[in-house]
Amino acid sequence: MLFNSQAFIFLYLPLTLLGFFVLGRISMKLAAGWLAAASLFFYGWWSPAYVALLLASILGNFFAGTAIARAHAAGDTQRSRRLLTLAVIANLALLSYYKYANFFVDNFNALAGTGLSLGEIILPLGISFFTFTQIAFLVDAHQGKAREYNLVHYGLFVTYFPHLIAGPILHHGEMMPQFAQREIYRPQHDLIAAGLTLFVLGLAKKVLIADGVAPYVAPVFDAPGAGVTLTMLEAWCGALAYTFQLYFDFSGYSDMAVGLSLMFGVRLPVNFHSPYKAVNIIDFWRRWHMTLSRFLRDYLYVPLGGNRKSASRRYANLLITMLLGGLWHGAGWTFVLWGALHGVYLVINHAWLALRRRLGQDRHRSTPWGRRAGCLLTFIAVVVAWVLFRAPDIESAAAILRAMAGFNGLVLPEAWLVKLGVVGETLAAAGIGFGATPTLTRTGVLHWIWILLLVVWLAPNTQQIMAAAKPALGVLKEAPSRIQWRLSAPWALLTTVLLLAVIVNLGRHSEFLYFQF
């Protein structure tokens, strides 16, 4: 079931909210059970067969976590560590089978010339997210950080529908205490209003913006495979269109997840915070998919040694972490290279900061123009990396990147020569070519690009706008926005107008891009 579907908006969400608050007046356990059951129904709408897999994963990890916690409490560190290792291996084995088995078999066949086959393996929705969520729980149990072991609450913690399919990746300690609070089982009208507003804002980002710019993406990324040679303008337009499609798709989902949860009185950790405003690549990963960055830092980078060893060891740890982070996103060499490229970016960024320290410069201070230049450079680096992320294969990515670098020349659409008049003639005289640009038959993408650039760089984000409601956990400190949500008639009217605009366009709804990960 999609957040941007009529079945979800008009049936599932109202019935789930109503049942939760009605049962909450009778029993907190009943209400929590209802929400867990509703979340399983939400998951099973896609494929009922995988509900059993999800339930088996929940039960296995819950009992493994309680056994690990008992061993830790008894002071039996070795037993706790052994149980943790076995449980983590079991989780990774399950994830590897469904997500990576055919990838490894295909690569083995290519190297060895064999014809091994595992048949078609359908990837269960959200398996990466609920697996990482539960691995974090197991590690926290081993470290004595997990405090509550209630099966109903744990099942709700894992299956909780706002986060189940595409994140955020939750920590046991963030969520379990909230499910134990009596006040969340009573309707809080200010939180319902704030959550509904945030949900509608996210819905508008997805339906009106991400889905609106999406048609300009596929023609460019499919062109190399069809034998079409892209020009510089075509390649950059396609790359930028995808850059904004992914941004507003994931930002919209993140807002909807936080808003939906807020209606139930529960605050999720923030997962997205204006990443294209980042002044360097370190800052970018503090703002993009923030809970994944946190997981990779706490459960991979730090155990590898983090920055506690030599500089070379630190850089190696960064590269390993980002390689695995890339592979987490998908079973393909394009994702591995995307992760490797971001690892190289991070190594360069940390090395630059280390050099500044040796030169006696404050790493945290820079001029306004320096921050703007850093933001532009970071944005361009991210756009280049997104080409690898989106391309169907390495050859297509290389072809697009060559075009972006100008190897195929700069050719403007032929129709522009007449439209630009004297300017067009001047450009042609200067050697700028005008000709066929088949992937830019609809040049409206240029308007999307400059408008969305202004939005992502200059507009406040939804967490800043909704700051009065404190909708999420772990929001980065930013200058307050002049636009502030209030429980008022103007905001109710704006939310209604946006919702109506979305409903009109729901017929073309599409899956969220992060569903595939």
| Catalytic site positions | 329
Given a contact cutoff of 8 angstroms between Cβ atoms, the answer to whether 80 and 68 are in contact is yes
Query: Which amino acid does the sequence have at 273?
Result: H
List 272's β-bridge partners, or say none: 288
CA distance 374 to 383: 14
Count CB atoms within 10 A of the CB of residue 140.
20
CB neighbour list of residue 82: distance below 8 Å, 6 or more residues apart: none
Give the 3-state secondary structure of residue 431: coil
Give the 3-state secondary structure of residue 210: helix
CA distance 317 to 296: 11
Q: Is the dihedral of CA 115, 119, 123, 127 positive or negative?
A: negative
Give the 3-state secondary structure of residue 435: strand
CA distance 285 to 382: 11
CB neighbour list of residue 214: distance below 8 Å, 6 or more residues apart: 241, 245, 510
Given a contact cutoff of 8 angstroms between Cβ atoms, the answer to whether 321 and 304 are in contact is yes
Strand pairing class (433-435; 411-413): parallel
Given a contact cutoff of 8 angstroms between Cβ atoms, the answer to whether 241 and 220 are in contact is yes
CA distance 450 to 121: 41
Q: Residue 289: left (phi > 0), alpha (psi -120 to 50), or beta?
A: left
Take residue 3 and report the two structure tokens written for it.
């957040």
Given a contact cutoff of 8 angstroms between Cβ atoms, the answer to whether 422 and 365 are in contact is no
CA distance 47 to 1: 10
Given a contact cutoff of 8 angstroms between Cβ atoms, the answer to whether 500 and 208 are in contact is no
CA distance 232 to 213: 19
CA distance 37 to 213: 36
Given a contact cutoff of 8 angstroms between Cβ atoms, the answer to whether 119 and 112 are in contact is no
